């Protein structure tokens, strides 16, 4: 481990990150770039950034020897997360002294020491930056620790600027906001702008004083929902300020989550009607043909119609299952308690159950044996079907989709890889949201309900595993599922 960082390389790398921001980039690509340019100058073998939500966290960026952890959830009771919440903002830890499963997975890959720094805004921890090292005995230099603290502050600044972060909309930056309050005079100019108003709107008090409000104000006693240019929704109320001439008190709160809930409900209805219509129409059409013209339809055509009806009925059943699971967001996803099972055998059985069009495009590259995984064997068919469906949907017809598997000291993994249109780095987490699709507004080109990956993540995480997406070198996407070893 270096005693001092490679400052020339660090400055050059950080300059390239700033240039990227100045050119208009934001969010995950910039955060990932920040980790990559810092890794070598501070001598780390890998780096990760954890974004914290009110109940848990998730690794949203990972580089080097820690890249395998991308997408992994971090439970609220994880020892590292709990230890980070208080005390020094930057600290060094030996991973073999931590009891959590994530620490054991890192040490199983030869990463034995970690420097971790909190990323926080006004005392609210929104994430943590981790640099990982293989040497358990050699401490990390104080200057490298200081650099990591600085980089964590840079990440926090990105959150404060709302530059494509947080990735998950229910993160602490959103959850911590209180009601905003403004007082406006008879001219409609701001005389008071509290700290919560700054947080909610992103407008500092110094810039708002003696200026008009950046949103409309409802009449006293009424409520107005208004969407800011940032995409955040406000619920605004106002009232007369007693003892003044035409001055008003305006209060407003972040109502984005409720608006998102209402939007999801409306979108669920729209998507359900859209996606159910096609298979129902096809089934009804063929059934009417057979019922009305049975005698005149040749035997091969009757058999073809029966096959189509069966195939579409299967699609309809799978779609109904997905819609019902997605509608019950807080409820459990079906399956048995996790038990050891043979992943290779389960994958081969799942392949046999795939629809014919998916099975014909699949190129299987599985080893003869792997250690057993702990999970729900039956659910693997659902996971594989959704991942292969997603891969073929965003690939040219007839191009192969590859299935491979491997194991390490702590996990058993399988990957579904395609050579399709690929996925943008800023979308690797959003792709797991309900109803979200990369090609929004063009369901004719890429049809679907936007539920497959959402359900895959729920199924896999129920088994204490995790799933992630990443762009594939040369074009395409890799979806990777990791389950604990038995």
Whether 250 and 224 share a structural domain: yes
Q: What's the confidence (pLDDT) of residue 169? A: 58
CA angle 390, 391, 397 (to 5 degrees): 110
Q: What's the confidence (pLDDT) of residue 441? A: 40
- CB count within 10 Å of CB 258 equals 13
Residue 158: φ, ψ to 5° = -65, -40
**CATH code (residue 229):** 3.30.450.20
Q: What is the mean pLDDT of residues 25-47?
A: 94
Whether 198 and 135 share a structural domain: no
Whether 413 and 472 share a structural domain: yes
Among the listed residues 468, 482, 356, the one whose alpha carbon sits nearest the alpha carbon of residue 101: 482
In whole angstroms, give the CA distance from residue 210 to residue 205.
Answer: 10
User: Domain range for residue 464?
Assistant: 339-484
**CATH code (residue 297):** 1.10.287.130
β-partners of residue 128 are 50, 118
98 in any annotated domain: yes
**CATH code (residue 343):** 3.30.565.10
Q: What's the confidence (pLDDT) of residue 112? A: 92
Q: Which residues have a Cβ under 8 Å from the Cβ of 483 and sit 6 or more positions away?
A: 343, 373, 374, 375, 411, 412, 413, 460, 463, 464, 465
Q: Contact at 8 Å (CB) between 47 and 122?
A: no
2 in any annotated domain: no
* Parallel, antiparallel or unpaired: strands 401-407 and 362-365: parallel
Whether the full predicted model's pTM is greater than 0.75, yes or no, is no
Terminal C-alpha separation, the chain: 34
Whether 349 and 442 share a structural domain: yes
Q: What is the mean pLDDT of residues 291-303?
A: 88
Whether 451 and 304 share a structural domain: no
Of 174-183, 368-377, 418-427, the least confident = 174-183
Last residue of a domain, one of 238, 254, 270: 254
Of 329 and 379, the one with more pLDDT: 379
Whether 130 and 75 share a structural domain: yes
Mean pLDDT, the chain, integer? 83
User: How would residue 274 be classed by pLDDT, with cut points 50, 70 and 90?
Assistant: low
1 in any annotated domain: no
Query: Hey, CA dihedral for 369, 470, 168, 234, is it positive or negative?
Result: negative
Whether 20 and 164 share a structural domain: yes
304 in any annotated domain: yes
Of 162 and 73, the one with more pLDDT: 73
Q: What's the confidence (pLDDT) of residue 371? A: 95
104 in any annotated domain: yes
Q: What's the confidence (pLDDT) of residue 212? A: 93
Q: What's the confidence (pLDDT) of residue 191? A: 86
For residue 307, give both structure tokens.
């096959």
Last residue of a domain, one of 198, 233, 254: 254
Q: Distance between alpha carbon 447 and the CA centroid of its chain, in Å? A: 21
- CB count within 10 Å of CB 318 equals 17
Q: Contact at 8 Å (CB) between 449 and 323?
A: yes
Q: Which residue has the tokens 């209180």?
A: 178
Q: What's the confidence (pLDDT) of residue 176? A: 42
Local structure of residue 316 (DSSP, 8 states): H
Number of folded domains in the chain? Answer: 4
Whether 66 and 124 share a structural domain: yes
pLDDT in tens, 102-125: 888 999 999 999 999 999 887 778
For residue 294, give both structure tokens.
């049975």
**CATH code (residue 109):** 3.30.450.40
Q: What is the mean pLDDT of residues 305-311?
A: 84
Whether 198 and 265 share a structural domain: no
Local structure of residue 344 (DSSP, 8 states): H
Last residue of a domain, one of 119, 152, 171: 171
Whether 16 and 118 share a structural domain: yes
333 in any annotated domain: no
Whether 159 and 15 share a structural domain: yes
278 in any annotated domain: yes
User: How would residue 27 be classed by pLDDT, with cut points 50, 70 and 90?
Assistant: confident
Q: Which residue has the tokens 């200026």?
A: 211
291 in any annotated domain: yes
Residue 212: φ, ψ to 5° = -70, 155
Whether 455 and 355 share a structural domain: yes
Q: Which residues have a Cβ under 8 Å from the Cβ of 347 and sit 6 or more positions away?
A: 366, 380, 384, 403, 405, 414
For 384, counting Cβ atoms within 10 Å of its Cβ (0-12 exposed, 13-18 middle, 19+ buried), the class is buried
Among the listed residues 355, 371, 469, 482, the one whose alpha carbon sits nearest the alpha carbon of residue 420: 469
* Run of H or E including 359: helix 356-361
């Amino acid at each position: 481990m270096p005693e001092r960082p490679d400052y020339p390389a660090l400055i050059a790398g950080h300059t390239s990150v700033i240039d990227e921001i100045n050119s208009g980039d934001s969010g995950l690509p910039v955060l990932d770039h920040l980790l990559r340019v810092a890794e070598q100058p501070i001598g780390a073998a890998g780096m990760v950034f954890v974004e914290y939500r009110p109940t848990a966290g998730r690794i949203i960026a990972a580089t080097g020897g820690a890249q395998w952890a991308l997408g992994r959830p971090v439970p609220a009771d994880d020892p590292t997360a709990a230890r980070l919440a208080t005390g020094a903002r930057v600290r060094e830890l030996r991973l073999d002294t931590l009891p959590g499963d994530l620490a054991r997975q890192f040490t199983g890959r030869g990463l034995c020491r970690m420097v971790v720094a909190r990323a926080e805004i006004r005392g609210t921890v929104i994430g943590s930056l981790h640099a990982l090292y293989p040497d358990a005995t050699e401490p990390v230099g104080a200057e490298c620790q200081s650099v990591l603290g600085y980089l964590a502050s840079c990440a926090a600044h990105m959150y404060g600027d709302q530059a494509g972060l947080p990735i998950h909309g229910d993160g602490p930056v959103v959850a911590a906001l209180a009601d905003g309050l403004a007082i406006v005079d008879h001219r409609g100019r701001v005389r008071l702008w509290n700290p919560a108003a700054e947080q909610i709107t992103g407008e500092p008090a110094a810039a708002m004083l003696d200026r008009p409000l950046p949103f409309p104000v409802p009449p006293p006693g009424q409520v107005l929902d208004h969407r800011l240019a940032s995409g955040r929704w406000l619920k605004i109320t106002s009232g007369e300020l007693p003892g003044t001439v035409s001055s008003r008190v305006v209060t407003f709160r972040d109502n984005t989550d409720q608006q998102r809930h209402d939007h999801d409900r409306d979108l669920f209805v729209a998507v359900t009607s859209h996606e159910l219509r096609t298979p129902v129409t096809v089934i009804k059409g063929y059934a009417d043909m057979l019922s009305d013209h049975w005698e005149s339809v040749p035997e091969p055509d009757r058999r073809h119609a029966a096959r189509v009806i069966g195939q579409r009925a299967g699609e309809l059943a799978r779609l109904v299952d997905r819609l019902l699971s997605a509608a019950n967001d807080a409820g459990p996803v079906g399956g048995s308690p996790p038990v050891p099972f043979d992943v290779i055998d389960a994958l081969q059985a799942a392949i046999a159950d795939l629809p014919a069009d998916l099975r014909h495009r699949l190129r299987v590259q599985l080893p003869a044996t792997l250690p057993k995984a702990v999970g729900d064997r039956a659910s693997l068919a659902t996971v594989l079907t959704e991942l292969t469906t997603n891969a073929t949907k965003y690939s040219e017809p007839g191009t192969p989709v590859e299935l491979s598997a491997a194991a390490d000291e702590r996990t058993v993994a399988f990957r579904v890889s395609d050579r399709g249109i690929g996925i943008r780095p800023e979308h690797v987490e959003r792709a797991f949201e309900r109803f979200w699709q990369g090609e929004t507004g063009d369901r004719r080109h890429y049809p679907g309900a936007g539920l497959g990956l959402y359900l895959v993540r729920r199924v896999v995480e129920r088994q204490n595993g995790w799933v992630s997406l990443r762009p594939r070198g040369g074009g395409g996407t890799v979806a990777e599922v990791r389950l604990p070893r038995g």
